[in-house]
């Protein structure tokens, strides 16, 4: 009988499969990274809408105000998305922070 061949270390051993890692701290870090990316991506969209509202024709105040209101809606959605990713109730007083693009945009457009 021949001796079993020695398996190279970089190859997977079917007799001893590696267990998948289920690390709670890794999941927590992934959740934080994902929520920060989602909130800041949506915040950039809201800021872009405010900039568009400031840059368009001043003879159309309703369009400028409308873009600022839409920016606030996206801001609220962004804050709610951050809470939803963490699996907490998104209906909190922090949700009012999402209206900040509307307030700043209306101050710039109307001021």
Map residue 88 onto helix, strand or coil.
Answer: coil
CA distance 65 to 76: 17
What is the C-alpha radius of gyration for the chain, rounded to an integer number of angstroms? 25
> What average pLDDT does the chain have?
89
Residue with tokens 């001021």: 111
% of the chain exceeding 70 in pLDDT: 88
pLDDT bucket at 110, cuts 50 / 70 / 90: very high
pLDDT tens digits for 61-92? 999 999 999 999 999 999 999 999 999 999 99
Q: Give me the helices (H) in the chain, please.
A: 24-55, 61-85, 100-110
Report which of 50, 58, 35 is spatially closest to residue 99, judged by C-alpha positions.
50
**Average pLDDT in the 24-44 region?**
91
CB 106 within 8 A of CB 54: no
């Amino acid at each position: 009988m021949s001796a079993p061949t020695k398996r190279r270390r970089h190859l997977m051993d079917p007799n001893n499969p590696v267990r998948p890692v289920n690390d709670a701290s890794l999941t927590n870090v992934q959740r934080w990274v994902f929520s920060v990316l989602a909130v800041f991506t949506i915040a950039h969209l809201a800021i872009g809408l405010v900039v568009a509202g400031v840059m368009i024709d001043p003879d159309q105040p309703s369009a400028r105000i409308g873009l600022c209101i839409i920016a606030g809606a996206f801001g609220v959605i962004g804050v709610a998305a951050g809470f939803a990713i963490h699996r907490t109730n998104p209906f909190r007083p922090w949700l009012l922070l999402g209206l900040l693009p509307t307030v700043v945009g209306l101050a710039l457009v109307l001021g």
